[in-house]
Amino acid sequence: MSPNQFSKWVSEYLLAYAEGVEHDPSNEAIQEFIDVTYDEPEISWKAILEIMSRGPNERVIGALSAGPLEDIIHYHGDAFIERIEEQARNDPSFRHLLGGVWRGGSIEIWNRVIKARNYKSW
């Protein structure tokens, strides 16, 4: 995915929630996020961080929590937990994002997620 395609995709994802069409199964940006999270989690991680850097509304935060971030933790937790912890340490909005994630992955990874979303300071 080129930088231009990536930026367009992220913008379209945000627009889908702004326009209230997030549940439209034909929404390509949302379907793309689902596919990328399973097949190319590095791209999904980058997109999550980019979306969070744009100050998304609560609808988007809820979707990212219960969708891509939750899936990264569940399916790719071992590969991402250290980055998740680091991001949570340095970014209160990311800790807020973690608050919407439901339990998934191994118990060890889940316990680390719980700690990360409850960090007060380091």
According to the per-residue pLDDT averaged within each range, which of 9-23, 53-67, 72-86 is highest?
A: 72-86
Tokens linked to 63: 């979707």
pLDDT of residue 26: 54
Mean pLDDT of 14-37: 75
Mean pLDDT of 48-68: 92
Dihedral over Cα of 23, 1, 46, 35: its sign: positive
Q: Rounded mean pLDDT of the chain?
A: 88
**Residue 122: pLDDT band with limits 50, 70, 90:** very low
pLDDT in tens, 61-120: 998 999 899 999 999 999 999 999 999 999 999 999 999 999 887 999 999 999 998 876
DSSP H helices in the chain: 3-18, 28-39, 41-53, 58-64, 70-90, 92-98, 107-117
**Residue 28: pLDDT band with limits 50, 70, 90:** confident
pLDDT at 121 over 80: no
Residues 6 or more apart whose CB falls under 8 angstroms from that of 5 comprise: none
